[in-house]
Amino acid sequence: MGAITRINISNLFWLGRYVERVFTTLNSFFKYADRFIEGGQEAYEKYLADINVPDIYKDSEDFFHRYVFDMSDPNSIISNLDRALGNGIVLREEIKTPSLSYLQMAMDKFKSCEGTDKIRYDMLPVRDAIYAFWGSVDNNMTNAEALRVIHLGKSVERADMFLRLGYPSEDISAELDNLIKHVSRYGGETSIISADAFEALKSAAQSRDYTGSKAELIDNIERLVEVNFFETASV
């Protein structure tokens, strides 16, 4: 088991975040799809504000298509999946070929859904491929530190998205507890963890009060892991 480079630590962390972002976003987007349709522009504008994505869309129809399928929109779901796949290609030796294959499968299935009139049903294989990716990562990665980093990225993204999307307090509590466990288990370059952000998250997790401190919590989650961002090429 060899040491991993600083660049790979960053890429592993962001791979975990991108994959989880796609999964959580798909779940929440289709959960609230009817609300977007009924509420029109006001409904999707609130959703975008919650996840800190700029509103560049002309109307509900434009939002539904571009936010899901437009590769030129850097905040679209497919763009995040594309970045995950790009990171996976760079990290093929770390995550192993079977794991990369599941990311490619997710992308192929995703693209095949464009234009369908039953998008929620047709997107199920995308989520299945992501489930399979995580199972493959756990079964095939041989570098324990690399595995901890990718799961750290996944956990950061889940806690961040759950807070932004207003998940129930018990779900947020479970994700914060899980995130704290991942940070506590991390045995690599401990300098990538912000000590003050970690202490603030532990305090929030103990209090179980997230209503008045949502912005502060999100800020601490975003500051928790201090890695440089290395943008990977689109594929």
Asked if the structure places residue 178 within a domain, the reply is: yes
Confidence band for 137, pLDDT divided at 50, 70 and 90: very high
- Domain span at residue 98 reads 6-224
**Residue 127, both tokens:** 């989520």
Alpha helices in 165-224 (DSSP H): 169-185, 195-207, 214-224
pLDDT tens track for 37-52: 666 677 788 889 989 9
Is 177 a domain residue? yes
Whether 193 is covered by a domain: the verdict is yes
- CA pair distance 122, 111, nearest whole angstrom: 11
- Is 42 contained in some domain? yes
What letter does residue 5 receive in the DSSP assignment? -
> In sequence order, what DSSP letters do the residues of 77-137 get, joined into one string?
HHHHHHHHHHHHHHTHHHH-HHHHHHHHHHHHHHHHTTT-S-HHHHTHHHHHHHHHHHHHH
Fill in the amino acid letter for 140.
Answer: N
Does residue 73 register a pLDDT over 60? yes
In the predicted structure, residue 232 carries a pLDDT above the cut 70: no
Tell me the mean pLDDT in the region 164-169: 89
Question: Could you give the angle at the alpha carbon of 10 between the alpha carbons of 102 and 139, nearest 5°?
Answer: 35
Report if residue 174 sits inside a domain.
yes
Q: Show the tokens assigned to 26.
A: 């798909």
What is the rounded distance in angstroms from the CA atom of residue 124 to the CA atom of residue 8? 30
SS3 of 225, please? strand
Closest to 201 (Cα-Cα) out of 153, 159, 152, 168 = 159
In a domain, 232, yes or no: no
**234 is a domain residue:** no
In a domain, 231, yes or no: no
How much is the pLDDT for 192? Answer: 86
Residue given tokens 């006001």 in the structure block = 42
Instruction: Say how many domains are in the chain.
Output: 1
